[in-house]
Structure 1
Amino acid sequence: MNKISVVVPCFNEEEVLSMFYKKTSEVLNEIEDITYELLFVDDGSKDHTKDILRALSLKDDHCEFISFSRNFGKEAAMFAGLKKSSGDYVVIMDADLQHPPILLKEMYKAVSQEGYDCCAGKRVDRTGEGKMRNFLSHTFYKVMQKMCKMDMSDGCGDFRMMSRQMVDAILELKEYNRYMKGLFSFVGFDTKWIEFHNVQRVAGESKWNFSKLFAYALEGMFSFSTAPIVWIGNIGTAIMISSIIMAIFGLLVHVTSMFHLVCLILFLSGLQMLFVAILGQYTTKDYMESKQRPIYIVKETSRNLS
């Protein structure tokens, strides 16, 4: 009998956990000849998330939880869940029910009967989201697709069911700076995509504001692409050639405008600072990797209650 592990990262999700548990359990109980576990990872929540998870773990033997000592981020929570999971197949789902539990049946069929290593949900629209956020997300994934040469197209998120072999491959990648969408693509394996329409949160508010989304986008860019370094070289070469042309032009027409000189100095100074910042991002990431700090720290688990 196959076992399905459902990994659920949670950060201040007290309003949705009961609904998620009910709907997901109902779907899993309808799948024949399987057993399952619901593995919740409390990412340092400040509300009553951990209290609800304690209650669920005492009420239902299928439910387990891990609670971090502080907020380490969703990437760390997903890694912890994958590491803790014991199923033949492992699913990653959001607690807000934006990942429809009903798709678990089709996902399980794809990985257990159709020969796929992974079956993932692909959101085909962003109904209910703001136009600006929609535009920025679409643009980011287009840029990432070209920069990284990997399958990270818009709508391809964390919602997926994976074979144990694929999960073990991901767990081999123990880097501190984690960008799971990139890691899923990096390890490869045959993936079937299931399209679904965007679903609004059943309760509560999204924890992803523009600043967090922007930081997450930079994390993906600097973790899986060296394109910014190439851009620096190309722009530097263009500026050098332009400066030579300007110098020759100045000698020919005797231009001595102080204003133009100040503008040029400010432009080049700003450009240098930008380049230093980009190089600093790569250096900082290498610095953090060299420290070999733990990706997360566990404070409490459901086993402490037994």
Structure 2
Amino acid sequence: MTTGLSVVVPMYNEEAVVPTLVARLRPVLDGLGIPYEVVAVDDGSTDRTAELLGVQRRSWPELRLIGLRRNSGHQAALTAGLHRSRGDWVVTIDADLQDPPETIPEMLALARDRGLDVVYGVRSDRSTDTPFKRYTAGAYYRMMRRLIGGDVPSQAGDFRLLSRETVDVLRALPERTPVYRLLVPALGFASGSVSYVREQRAAGDTKYPLRRMVALAWDSAADFSAAPLRIATWLGALAFLACLALMVFGIVVWANGTVIPGWTSLFLAVLLLAAVQLICLGLLGEYVARIYRTVQSRPAFHIAADSLDPEPGLAEIPQQRSAASVR
């Protein structure tokens, strides 16, 4: 069974923002005049997020709740929502309301009028973010365009509209750790963009601290480019040239009859080679680890319940999870 529009909202410990999200999102979607569903993916929250969504669902039948058994990460929650969505069009949006849901009608109208498969929400003003956040975000997009190519839209996060054809292609890809802000442009579907001003977070704390930002940057580089391997190659070449220079130096000293202790040059050469070898092994290990995870074929997420399923026991989402369930 399909519907006109699906809105996928990954959520992790967002109890503070649930009422505001519903108050802003529902009028926008009701005003579209088409059948829709809101696929809220509870990413193993330990607060009352699932409980509050269950309460909202009683008066909002279009709200659909999917619960993951553990905290699997933002991109995995997006994947779960995309795979379970039924809409001819699918919008992905975060729950913090920094990306305004009022932009959704404009995105849908642009896609229909111009026959587009993808419409990106592009942040024209990020003054509500901290200077550090703005700088690191800009550096991320510059690095990705340099490594991958110019198809990566600048300042476009995970707020986008996708056609059903695009979603079906994404579902068929064998990606284990998808980074959709890079994967979607790489597909080459006809695309456009809608600009908006990034707002303050409605409530709660950010779910993307520095460590997750660094992890996202690494996943982006390792999944979409062989540049880290090329770095290892260049380091190996430089180390080889350094060894040649040391050999020339040793031959010149021997030819001049100068007696010097040999342990210093040998010690430095061994240190240099050992350091480069360790760096290369580390980079190669990252790729081997990804191959290993792929060969294991372990799912990136496990769905505990879907409010749309008719089976007994899956109609209601557990109201609260313990902290142990995410470990």
Q: TM-score, normalised by structure 1?
A: 0.93
Instruction: List per-residue Cα deviations over 1:221-247 (Å, max 9, x = no partner).
Output: 111111111222222122212321222
Which residue does the alignment assign to 2:220?
220
Q: TM-score, normalised by structure 2?
A: 0.88
SS at match of 1:213: helix
Percent identity over the alignment? Answer: 30
Q: In structure 1, how many angstroms separate the alpha carbons of the residues matched to 2:58 and 2:37?
A: 14
Q: CA deviation at 1:45?
A: 0.4
Q: How many residue pairs get matched?
A: 305
Q: CA deviation at 1:149?
A: 2.1
- Maintained 8 Å contact 1:177/1:285: no
Q: CA deviation at 1:154?
A: 3.5
Q: In structure 1, how many angstroms separate the alpha carbons of the residues matched to 2:273 and 2:123?
A: 42
Which residue does the alignment assign to 2:311?
none
Structure 1 residue 17 and structure 2 residue 18: aligned? yes
SS at match of 1:9: strand
The answer to which of 5-14 and 151-160 deviates more is 151-160
Q: CA deviation at 1:260?
A: 5.3
Aligned counterparts, 1:174-189, within 5 A: 174-189=174-189
Q: In structure 1, how many angstroms separate the alpha carbons of the residues matched to 2:160 and 2:217?
A: 20
Q: In structure 1, how many angstroms separate the alpha carbons of the residues matched to 2:266 and 2:134?
A: 41
- Maintained 8 Å contact 1:125/1:197: yes
Q: In structure 1, how many angstroms separate the alpha carbons of the residues matched to 2:79 and 2:229?
A: 29
Distance 1:153 1:257, change over 3 A: farther
- Maintained 8 Å contact 1:150/1:186: no
Structure 1 residue 273 and structure 2 residue 290: aligned? no
SS at match of 2:87: coil
Q: In structure 2, how many angstroms separate the alpha carbons of the residues matched to 1:265 and 1:134?
A: 42
Q: CA deviation at 1:301?
A: 2.1
Structure 1 residue 293 and structure 2 residue 259: aligned? no
Q: In structure 2, how many angstroms separate the alpha carbons of the residues matched to 1:129 and 1:156?
A: 15
Distance 1:268 1:154, change over 3 A: farther
Which residue does the alignment assign to 1:236?
236
Which residue does the alignment assign to 2:319?
none
Instruction: List per-residue Cα deviations over 1:71-130 (Å, max 9, x = no partner).
Output: 111111111111111111000000000111111111010112221111110113432333
- Maintained 8 Å contact 2:239/2:272: no
Q: In structure 2, how many angstroms separate the alpha carbons of the residues matched to 1:294 and 1:73?
A: 13
Q: CA deviation at 1:2?
A: 6.5
Identify the structure with bigger relative contact order (alpha carbons < 8 Å, sequence gap 6+): 2
Which residue does the alignment assign to 2:315?
305
SS at match of 1:305: coil
Q: CA deviation at 1:259?
A: 4.8
The answer to which of 260-269 and 285-294 deviates more is 260-269
Which residue does the alignment assign to 1:109?
109
SS at match of 2:114: coil
Q: In structure 2, how many angstroms separate the alpha carbons of the residues matched to 1:167 and 1:189?
A: 11
Q: CA deviation at 1:52?
A: 1.0
Q: In structure 2, how many angstroms separate the alpha carbons of the residues matched to 1:16 and 1:264?
A: 58
Instruction: List per-residue Cα deviations over 1:172-217 (Å, max 9, x = no partner).
Output: 1132222122211222211111122221101111011111111111
Q: In structure 1, how many angstroms separate the alpha carbons of the residues matched to 2:230 and 2:294?
A: 23
Q: CA RMSD, aligned part only?
A: 1.9
Distance 1:2 1:62, change over 3 A: closer
Amino acid at match of 1:94: D
Distance 1:121 1:259, change over 3 A: same
Q: In structure 2, how many angstroms separate the alpha carbons of the residues matched to 1:104 and 1:289?
A: 35
Instruction: List per-residue Cα deviations over 1:252-302 (Å, max 9, x = no partner).
Output: 145647555544433332222111111000000000000011121111222
SS at match of 2:50: helix
Q: In structure 2, how many angstroms separate the alpha carbons of the residues matched to 1:271 and 1:59?
A: 61
Mark the runs of 5 or more structure 2 residues left unpaired by the alignment: 309-313, 317-327
- Maintained 8 Å contact 2:122/2:195: yes
